[in-house]
Structure 1
Amino acid sequence: MKPHGISIGLSRVKSTFFIHIRAFGTLHHDDYEYMIPTIESALSEVKEPHLNVLIDITELDGWTMNAAWDDFKFGMKHRREFDKVAVICSLRWQKGVAQVSNWFMPGEIQSFDNHHDALVWLESQ
């Protein structure tokens, strides 16, 4: 069985959170049961959080149906808190996922080929 999961890093500058997410393998519902409470716990400490997110999906193979639904629900619940989302991806379908996400998020979403360019964009005003 191939490894799968989500690793999360959180940092904060005043009321702006930087969330670093790396997704790999095929994500399952159990992966979201770990990720969602971790992020929501951090967000609960800030009155009006603004999120800048760096998501690396270069090693992502996809989602199970339940995991895709979990991802959608989480995104919709917190969509107004996302200021910028930088998606690091290399495959065409991964870039398509980033583009479709723009339909549901009022914040900016951009896809990037590398970590450096994504961080520069996230840190720009």
Structure 2
Amino acid sequence: MIKLIAGLPEHVIGFELSGKVSAEDYEKVLMPAVDAATAGGQKIGLLYHITPEFEKYEFEAMWDDAKVGFRHLASWKKIAVVTDVDWIRWSVKSFGFAMPGQVRVFDQAGLAAAREWLAE
């Protein structure tokens, strides 16, 4: 499941991922929110909080994640990924260099620090 995070600064959009994340979650929640936030052409911050309740991505969801990233490649100012899931932390650290803007990984205890970093 993907839920939009409320209460973030205007230039930051955030999502909370938990349980099983499906392509439908991306198509109904994440993609429309990202499209709306980037419609004016401004660079935005992205908070991607993968909660301890996260179980897995469906294959189609991982594909949708890649499509969103590439479709909005020039839109990202900062990306903060908050997770304790080792394979996701490793993936972001390994491939984050390919994303424009700054990419940082935070553990669950660093959620507040991630929000502060994005708000700067």
Distance apart, 1:100 and its partner CA: 3.7
Query: In 2, Cα distance between the equivalents of 1:61 and 1:28?
Result: 11
- SS of 1:102's partner is helix
Tell me the TM-score normalized by structure 1.
Answer: 0.80
Q: Aligned to 1:65, which of 59, 62, 65?
A: 59
Equivalent residue for 1:99? 93
Unaligned runs of 5+ in 2: none
What RMSD, in angstroms, separates the aligned Cα atoms of the two structures?
Answer: 1.8
Q: 1:22 to 1:101 in 2, by over 3 A?
A: farther
Task: Find out whether 1:110 has 2:98 as its counterpart.
Answer: no
Judging by fraction of residues, say which structure has more helix. Answer: 2
Q: Aligned to 2:34, which of 17, 36, 39?
A: 39
The structure, 1 or 2, with the larger RCO (C-alpha pairs under 8 Å, 6+ apart) is 2
Unaligned runs of 5+ in 1: none
Query: In 2, Cα distance between the equivalents of 1:79 and 1:60?
Result: 25
Distance apart, 1:98 and its partner CA: 2.0
Name the aligned partner's letter for residue 48 of structure 2. I
Tell me the TM-score normalized by structure 2.
Answer: 0.83
Query: In 2, Cα distance between the equivalents of 1:79 and 1:51?
Result: 11
Judging by fraction of residues, say which structure has more strand. Answer: 1
Query: In 1, Cα distance between the equivalents of 2:35 and 2:9?
Result: 14
Name the aligned partner's letter for residue 66 of structure 2. F
Checking the alignment, whether the CA contact within 8 Å between 2:23 and 2:64 is kept in structure 1 is yes
Instruction: Name the % identity.
Output: 27
